[in-house]
Every structure is written in structure tokens, then in C-alpha cells.
Chain A
Amino acid sequence: MAPTIGTPTSRVDGHAKVTGEARYAAEFDAPGLAYGSIVGSTIAKGRIARIDASEALRVQGVIDVLTHLNRPHMAEGGGADEDPYRDDVAPEGSPFRPLYDDRIVFSGQPVALVLAETWEAARYAASQVRVDYDEEPHVTDLHRRRDDAVALRERTKVRGDADTAFAAAEVRHAGEYFIAMEHHNPMELFASTVIWDGDGKLTVYDKTQGVQNVQCYLCGVFEMKPEDVRVVSPFVGGAFGSGLRPQYSVALAVMAARALQRSVRLVLTRRQMYTLGYRPGTIERVALGAKADGTLEAVTHEAIGMTSQFEDFARNDTTWSGTLYRSATAKYDHKLARLDVSTPCDMRAPGAATGVYALECAMDELAVALKLDPLELRYRNYSDRDQNEDMPFTSKKLRECYRQGAEAFGWSKRDPQPRAMRDGSELVGWGMATGVWEALQMKTAVRILLTANGHAEVACATSDIGTGTYTIMAQVAADMLGLPLDSISVKLGDSTLPHSPVEGGSWTAASVSNAIASTAKAIRTELLQLAQKMPQSPLAGATPDDVALVDGRIVSKQDAARAVPIADAMRHAAVDRIEQETSADFDEDDGYARNTHSAIFAEVKVDEQLGVIRVTRVVSAVAAGRILNTKTAKSQIMGSVVGGIGMALHEETLIDHDLGRIMNADIAEYHVPVNADVHEIEVIFVDEPDDIVNPLGIKGVGEIGIVGVAAAIANAIYHATGKRVRDLPITLDKLQG
């Protein structure tokens, strides 16, 4: 039986997804289900003066209207460390508490929850709830607050004297870049179906990237016992980070079920999803100083991001240059502007997607100033060590990404002169950029149940948000247990399963796969013990490391003739099932930097008269350790490139700062890439063996594909038109203006 790891295996959940059998959070049913509809605040800051629900309560089918005045009990405590509303991935601060009190801290904040016998009745009645406010002045404009931004101390690092080195540099570039606020907009609406199991016990079907995080949060907020709350999420209709933290929707759905003592479904509208987390709008200033030959001597990277008034959300935007390039000096600084908005959250490659955009555009501008090929500039400053921490990498095949990507793209045929390449009425531009992300891993537990009929069930409380977790778990288990792929069933997305952190940061593939490997070893050890109890066992004296599980047999690695069928070993011992659970923990304090890298080459065609921009070709060459499934991993990178196209050309959440309210809270006015926007995308996985990062050499591919894409496109647009637009998204008006 050939190994499945490293092959283009089709998704094991594919059949369920193409037939409509896969069930998402809003699609579980229960007798007597009540429906909720949220009323959102129309102001950004102030207090609720009065709520009149009398009209709403008169609507036929309405059961109740919950507000901060009549809601059931919620935890009250506070204080930074003891806050019961803080979840596993909460940033510094005090999380938003839905329907907690009369205070309004962002526009669209839930102020009432209408519960009715039908969705239509709930939705109509929600429009009949009258709310009066005592409004206070708000600020929602990042640019207005930039001078009052607060420095994050732990994000500020210094290497040498970057200011002096910059001032003395032969060639300099300094520029300010802006990345617009973006919303994840997964296709599935945020939804929770709470099943009232009686005696206060609840089963909560929720759209989340972390069932155990949600369970823990609900126990804290409603002071419930863990055994009384089960959170289930077998399928998630996209998330991209928006499902990492428990959302107010799940808290409100549980609150309603407890108030009514019956099952409740609450689905947010697309508009309401814009009141959840988002990629923060960020101002980035990058200054690069170099010798005339391109050698970097100074890097300064400053970021100012937006956050709410109640939590300080920030990710690493500024230090990526130290991971990618050699420079004698570097200075990084990150500030936060507190605004009257909801708290931002992680969105695909948080920090890197924004910070590396600025860095890689600045590198392109420096290359222009140096009259040097932008790829050559990267080669000249290539770093084999992470200069921030002064550590070697577990592996870094970025040079190979550059080489293979450039070759596939045809980079050597590029005319360096802007506006020099044409295709009919369109200007043609070629740009490139580097991408980088971390190879993270988290402690994760896996249980394997092997039955004598040769079937194994692999279980972990992790998630599959479309990333392919079901499939890679089945593949790793099949290979480690020596069973065919269709003899493996995978259970995930259930808080009662073995421990898993939230699915994020690209850490799931490495964490869960290594946990499967360690649990499979425990199974192998137990099987060997059974086999050695058989009379004249051919495996007598062998240790677990001397044998492998292959084709349903326990086989000596030294001599394949010495083997025992698994079924025989179990039958002889009168054992019909073997169950093992282990955790994979990772030693990351071993003096190595752990990163994935990529090189992105983009071609744009720009209509000279109209300014219409098309991204006609992208090559993304990725070095991300061992690739478990070349089909689903390629899709991850391809999808990330599409996300990068959206970031470069389309996506922008717009706030009316007078009202403090988002203006384009839907998917017609907030533009995301559609099929016609996407053309050729070629994905290359560079061979990157790595026996240091973790036993299986896996680094994860969830984020790396988006990092650098917007920069490659922006650089290509400059090359096509000769015009440098530093503010994303690059829309026609900016190009023409």
C-alpha cells in the first residue's frame, strides 16, 4: 500500500460537501426551535436611555425580547486576569459583554434580542423595537487618532542605531503605506443552534474555529459546569480567523435558550457580521537605507493600527525584515489608536499580510532608487539567520523559491523600465515580493480507536474550516497505522474530544499530525505486545521502534518476512479494540527560528485609458516543509493568492465617521474577488526537508500564501504604469488621480 502523505488525495469530506449532506451550525434541528433576531445600536458611543419593546411583543409569534434589563444572569466579575469573558485568544483588555449593561461601545452593538416562533416573525419584530440613546461624541477615524496612538512596549525592538545609519546611507527610501480595514466575509453567516437537552444541559452547534474555546467561554460567562455544555462544529463555512474567538452571537443564543428553557437558533445577517472582528486598518512607515550596491544598512518599520476602546489588539507587523534580510541596524515600533469600534481580530496572516506588504513595496522602491532588479536586491540581502533573535532557521529554502518562481514566471525577460511592456491597449507590469510566516505548533491530543476488523477512528477537538484537516488527519493515520484511507474515520469539531487549541496560525497540520504519529506509536506498542504473546511469535524481542504497521500487519523493519497480521494479534489476545490517547508537545525553545517562506511573481494588465487593472498571472513558490497533501495544500495557497488579489485591488471596509457606522456592510458594496477577477495562478512547493522543526517536518500552509501577494501586485502596477500607489486597495481613482 503506497503512502498517502505527500500525494494529491481528494478531500475525504468531498462527497458530503458536493451533495449538501455536510451540516453547518444553522442546519441542526430540534423540536420547538425558537428563532432569534438581534437589534443593533444605531450610535457608536453612549448609553441606552430607554428601550420600548411593546410593539415588538405584540407581533404574532413573538415569545420574548431580551435586553440588558431583563436578561438572565451572566457572570459579573472583572479584573484583568480573572475576567470570565476572556477566551483563549483574547487580546489584552476587557472583552465586550453582550446585553450586559446600558453602555454602547460600537455601532451595531446588540442592544436587544427578539425571540419568536419563526425567523420571519423575529426579524420583523426586531424592526419594531424602539431604542433611545444618550449619545456621546465618538471617533472612528484612524487618521484622526494617529498622533494619540499608544506605543506597545513589547513590540519595540532595536538593533544598532538605525536612524544614524539611515541618515548616512548612500541610497535611501522612506515611504508611508496604508492597508484598509478588511472583513473576513466567510460565506457562512455566523450562527448558533442551541439544543436544550433538559436540566439546563446544552448542545451548542456553533460556527467556530475552536469548540473547546467556546465551551470554556460559555462556562465562564454563564457560570455553567463543563459537563453541561457541549460545543459541536463538524463543518465550518469559512472563517479565515473570524471564528477564533467566541462571538456575541453564541453568547446570546445560549442566553436565550436559558431564558426560554428551549432550543434556539440565532443567525447573524451579513450586515451584523461587520460588527464582529476585522483586519485592522494600518498605517505603516518603512525607511530603508542601503549602500550603492544594494546592501541594506538600516531598516525602520513603524506601524499604527486601529483597535477598540476596550481591548488592545495587535500582531507582529514590523519585525519581518529581520527574518528575511540582512541589515546592520533595525528599529521597529508599533502603536495602537483606540477608536469607538469593535475589536479587530486575526485575519489570514495577521500582521504579516499588512506589515510585509509595506516592507516589500519599500524594497521595490529601493530597487528602483538603486537601479537594481528587485529580485537581485533580495538575493544581495539574503539572510541565513533570523537577525531579530540571532538564530539559525530549522530550514529556509527561500532562495529556491526565488529561483523556481522566477523561472516559472519568466522573470528574466522583464524589461526593467516602467511602461515598457504592452499588450494591445493594455500596459503590462511584472512585480515580485517575498512572503514569510511562522511555523507554529501547539500542544494537541489525539485519540485513536483501532478495531479488530481493521478500522480506525481518529479523534481530536480541532476544526476543519475548509483547510482540509479531515483529509490530512485521515492520511497521516492511514500511513502511520498501515491501513487504507477508507478504513479511517475522522472525528473533530466536538468539545468532548481530546484537547485541541483553536485552529489558527497555520499550526493545525503540524500539531495534529505529530499527535497522530505519537498516538499511532502507542497503538503500535500495544499491538507489538499482543503479537509477542502469540506462540513462537516472529516478533519476539523486537522493540516498538523495530517494527512498523504496514498493510494491516505488524512488520519487522529489518526483515519484512517477520510479520504478524494485526487481526491475528488482537484475536489471539481476545481483544476487539485498542484505544490510545497521547499529546504532542513541542519544544520551541531550542535556539532555532521556525518560518515558512514564499516568493510571489505577479503580472498585471492595466487599461491605459480606463485604468482597469487585471491580475492575469501569479506564480507563488512556497517553502513550507513537508506538504501532506499536494492537492489541498495547493488549494490553500491558491485561495490565499485570491485573498491577496482582493487585498490589493478590492477590499475596503468604509466607515462614515460622522455616524461612526460602517457604510458598505454587505458583499455588493464591500468588494471581494469574483470568478472573473481571477486568472492563472501557479503554485510551486519547493522541496524543504526539515527534521528539526518537528518529527514529521510539517510547517503549515494556511497563512503563507497571502503574505506578499498584495505587494507583488502593487509592484507590478507600478511597473506597468510608472505610478506608485501606496494605499490599498489600488482602485481606479487612485491610479487615475
Chain B
Amino acid sequence: MVSRIPVTLVVNGIETQLEVTPWTTLLDALRDHLHLTGTKKGCDHGQCGACTVLIDGRRVNSCLTLTVMKDGAEVTTIEGLATDGALHPLQQAFIDHDAFQCGYCTPGQICSAAGLLAEGKARTEDEIRELMSGNICRCGAYPNIVAAIHQAMGAMGSAS
């Protein structure tokens, strides 16, 4: 019998108890156990960034993260970014700039961008491009993604 391990996560502000096998990734825990399917599986190998979530405010590939390692962590997914029905400035900027087509990489792009803004490292469009290069968009919306992040930086007062 495989023993399941109890884990407590604070997911989008809500304390959540889970019992998972040691090898269950955070991505599969979110999608299959908690039914938070906004976080996407694009490669399961940390190569595409579609599974990016924020753990304690930092952007992380959830497919490379074992759930049991994150006991007590705060996890923010795309479902947790809007507050009281109002879109996060990045979500609105992505719509305004048409920064997606199929939408599959979008939750990861937006979570990654939220992490990027918190890091405060990106100042120029070239820096945004470089620091967003872990999130692949096969539809090729990159110029619009950069424009959207730039707009949100301004809206959130983090642009220099």
C-alpha cells in the first residue's frame, strides 16, 4: 500500500488539506486533486512554463515541484489573481493587447509576469523579453505580451 502524506497548502488564500503520494507534482495536485485547471500542463518537464504559479510570491514551475515539499506554502494560481471579480491589471492588459491567441500558455505567462513585477528586475522591454523567456507561447504573441506587461507595470506603479 502506498502511503499518502498529508500536506497543507494555502491556495489562493484558502487553507487546503491534501493527502498525496510522494511523487505527486504540485501541478497534478492543483489540476487533478483541487480541480484548479487554470494551471496548464504543456511539457511536464519544466521546459515550457505553462504551469507557472506563485509560491510564497515567487514564480515556480509547478510541474517540477513535488507537493510534499511545499507543506505550509502559499500558492497563488491564475484563479487567485482577480480580486472581488476585478481583473488583476496584468489580466486586463493581456486582453487589451491581445497578448494571447489559444490561451493555453496564458495563465503561466500572467503568473510569471506577476512574479517578474514583484522581482522588480525588469526595467526595459529587452529585460522583459529576457526574463519572460521561460514561458513559451507557440502562437507567437510575444510582442503583445511584452506590451501588456509594460502597460501593467505602469498601472501598478512599478515602472521606473
Give chain A's interface residues, CB within 8 Å of chain B. Answer: 10-11, 13-24, 26-27, 29, 60, 118-120, 184-189, 235-240, 267, 269-270, 465-468, 631-632, 634-636, 638-643, 666-668, 672-678, 680-681
Residue from A186, A235, A467, A677 whose CB has the most chain B CB atoms within 10 Å:
A186
Q: B42 to A188, Cβ gap below 8 A?
A: yes
Q: B101 to A468, Cβ gap below 8 A?
A: yes
Encode B28-57 as 1/0 by CB contact (under 8 A) with A: 100110011111111111011010000000
The distance in angstroms between the C-alpha atoms of A186 and B140, with both chains bound, is 11
Residue from A14, A189, A236, A239 whose CB has the most chain B CB atoms within 10 Å:
A14
Q: A187 to B101, Cβ gap below 8 A?
A: no
- Chain B residues positioned under 8 Å from A673 (CB to CB): 140, 142
- Chain B residues positioned under 8 Å from A269 (CB to CB): 44
The distance in angstroms between the C-alpha atoms of A120 and B145, with both chains bound, is 34
- Chain A residues positioned under 8 Å from B95 (CB to CB): 10-11, 14-15, 18
Asked if B75 is an interface residue, CB under 8 A from chain A, the answer is: no
The distance in angstroms between the C-alpha atoms of A240 and B36, with both chains bound, is 27
- Chain B residues positioned under 8 Å from A270 (CB to CB): 42-45, 47
- Chain A residues positioned under 8 Å from B1 (CB to CB): 60
Q: A635 to B101, Cβ gap below 8 A?
A: yes
Q: A20 to B105, Cβ gap below 8 A?
A: no
* Residue on A nearest B111 in the bound complex, by CB: A20
Q: A681 to B143, Cβ gap below 8 A?
A: yes
- With contacts A186-B102, A668-B45 taken as known, whether A678 is within 8 angstroms of B143 at the C-beta atoms is yes
Residue from A11, A23, A642 within 8 A of B142 (CB atoms):
A642
Asked if B64 is an interface residue, CB under 8 A from chain A, the answer is: no
Instruction: List 8 tightest A-B contacts by C-beta distance, closest first.
Output: A20-B38, A642-B140, A237-B104, A466-B102, A17-B103, A466-B101, A639-B140, A20-B78
The distance in angstroms between the C-alpha atoms of A641 and B142, with both chains bound, is 11
The distance in angstroms between the C-alpha atoms of A468 and B36, with both chains bound, is 25
- Chain A residues positioned under 8 Å from B130 (CB to CB): 675-676
- Chain B residues positioned under 8 Å from A236 (CB to CB): 102
State how many angstroms separate the Cβ of A396 from the closest Cβ of chain B: 27
Residue from B41, B101, B135 whose CB has the most chain A CB atoms within 10 Å:
B101
- With contacts A238-B101, A639-B101 taken as known, whether A185 is within 8 angstroms of B37 at the C-beta atoms is no
State how many angstroms separate the Cβ of A32 from the closest Cβ of chain B: 14
State how many angstroms separate the Cβ of A630 from the closest Cβ of chain B: 10
Residue from A240, A639, A668 whose CB has the most chain B CB atoms within 10 Å:
A639
- Chain B residues positioned under 8 Å from A186 (CB to CB): 102, 104, 138
Q: B91 to A18, Cβ gap below 8 A?
A: yes
State how many angstroms separate the Cβ of A591 from the closest Cβ of chain B: 36
Q: B100 to A17, Cβ gap below 8 A?
A: yes
The distance in angstroms between the C-alpha atoms of A642 and B140, with both chains bound, is 5
- Chain A residues positioned under 8 Å from B105 (CB to CB): 187
**Could you list 13 further interchain pairs (A-B, Cβ under 8 angstroms) beyond the known A187-B48, A636-B101, A667-B43?**
A11-B95, A18-B100, A185-B138, A186-B138, A187-B42, A187-B138, A641-B140, A643-B140, A667-B47, A674-B134, A675-B130, A675-B132, A675-B142
- Chain A residues positioned under 8 Å from B100 (CB to CB): 14, 17-18, 466
- Chain B residues positioned under 8 Å from A641 (CB to CB): 140
Interface residues in B126-150 by Cβ distance below 8 A to A read 128-130, 132-146
The distance in angstroms between the C-alpha atoms of A270 and B107, with both chains bound, is 19
Asked if B24 is an interface residue, CB under 8 A from chain A, the answer is: yes
State how many angstroms separate the Cβ of B107 from the closest Cβ of chain A: 5
The distance in angstroms between the C-alpha atoms of A18 and B98, with both chains bound, is 11
- With contacts A18-B91, A238-B104, A635-B101 taken as known, whether A187 is within 8 angstroms of B28 at the C-beta atoms is no
Q: B142 to A10, Cβ gap below 8 A?
A: no
Asked if B21 is an interface residue, CB under 8 A from chain A, the answer is: yes
Residue from A29, A631, A634 within 8 A of B35 (CB atoms):
A29
- Chain A residues positioned under 8 Å from B107 (CB to CB): 18, 20
- Chain A residues positioned under 8 Å from B41 (CB to CB): 26, 189, 267
Residue from A120, A465, A674, A676 within 8 A of B102 (CB atoms):
A465
- With contacts A119-B32, A237-B40, A675-B142 taken as known, whether A666 is within 8 angstroms of B101 at the C-beta atoms is no
- Chain B residues positioned under 8 Å from A18 (CB to CB): 78, 87, 91-92, 94-95, 100, 103, 106-107, 110
Q: What are 11 of the A-B contact pairs (CB < 8 Å)?
A: A19-B87, A118-B32, A185-B138, A187-B105, A187-B139, A237-B103, A237-B104, A270-B45, A632-B98, A640-B140, A642-B140
Residue from A21, A674, A675 whose CB has the most chain B CB atoms within 10 Å:
A675
Residue from B37, B91, B139 whose CB has the most chain A CB atoms within 10 Å:
B139
The distance in angstroms between the C-alpha atoms of A94 and B63, with both chains bound, is 38
The distance in angstroms between the C-alpha atoms of A10 and B97, with both chains bound, is 8
Q: A11 to B38, Cβ gap below 8 A?
A: no
The distance in angstroms between the C-alpha atoms of A19 and B28, with both chains bound, is 19
- With contacts A635-B101, A639-B140 taken as known, whether A27 is within 8 angstroms of B42 at the C-beta atoms is no
The distance in angstroms between the C-alpha atoms of A666 and B46, with both chains bound, is 11
- Chain A residues positioned under 8 Å from B146 (CB to CB): 675
Q: A672 to B38, Cβ gap below 8 A?
A: no
- With contacts A18-B95, A20-B107, A60-B2 taken as known, whether A188 is within 8 angstroms of B102 at the C-beta atoms is yes
Residue from A14, A187, A635, A681 within 8 A of B136 (CB atoms):
A187
The distance in angstroms between the C-alpha atoms of A21 and B39, with both chains bound, is 10
Asked if B79 is an interface residue, CB under 8 A from chain A, the answer is: yes
- Chain B residues positioned under 8 Å from A635 (CB to CB): 98, 101, 139, 141, 144
Q: A187 to B24, Cβ gap below 8 A?
A: no
Q: A187 to B133, Cβ gap below 8 A?
A: no
- Chain B residues positioned under 8 Å from A680 (CB to CB): 143
- Chain A residues positioned under 8 Å from B138 (CB to CB): 184-187, 238, 240, 672
The distance in angstroms between the C-alpha atoms of A188 and B140, with both chains bound, is 14
Q: B43 to A675, Cβ gap below 8 A?
A: no
State how many angstroms separate the Cβ of B121 from the closest Cβ of chain A: 14
Asked if B118 is an interface residue, CB under 8 A from chain A, the answer is: no
- With contacts A187-B137, A674-B133 taken as known, whether A24 is within 8 angstroms of B104 at the C-beta atoms is yes
The distance in angstroms between the C-alpha atoms of A19 and B80, with both chains bound, is 8
The distance in angstroms between the C-alpha atoms of A267 and B40, with both chains bound, is 12
* Residue on A nearest B50 in the bound complex, by CB: A187
Asked if B82 is an interface residue, CB under 8 A from chain A, the answer is: yes
The distance in angstroms between the C-alpha atoms of A653 and B111, with both chains bound, is 30
The distance in angstroms between the C-alpha atoms of A515 and B78, with both chains bound, is 36
Q: B21 to A120, Cβ gap below 8 A?
A: yes
Asked if B96 is an interface residue, CB under 8 A from chain A, the answer is: yes
- Chain B residues positioned under 8 Å from A13 (CB to CB): 103
- With contacts A270-B44, A631-B98 taken as known, whether A20 is within 8 angstroms of B140 at the C-beta atoms is no
State how many angstroms separate the Cβ of A452 from the closest Cβ of chain B: 29
Q: A638 to B144, Cβ gap below 8 A?
A: yes
Asked if B61 is an interface residue, CB under 8 A from chain A, the answer is: no
The distance in angstroms between the C-alpha atoms of A16 and B134, with both chains bound, is 23
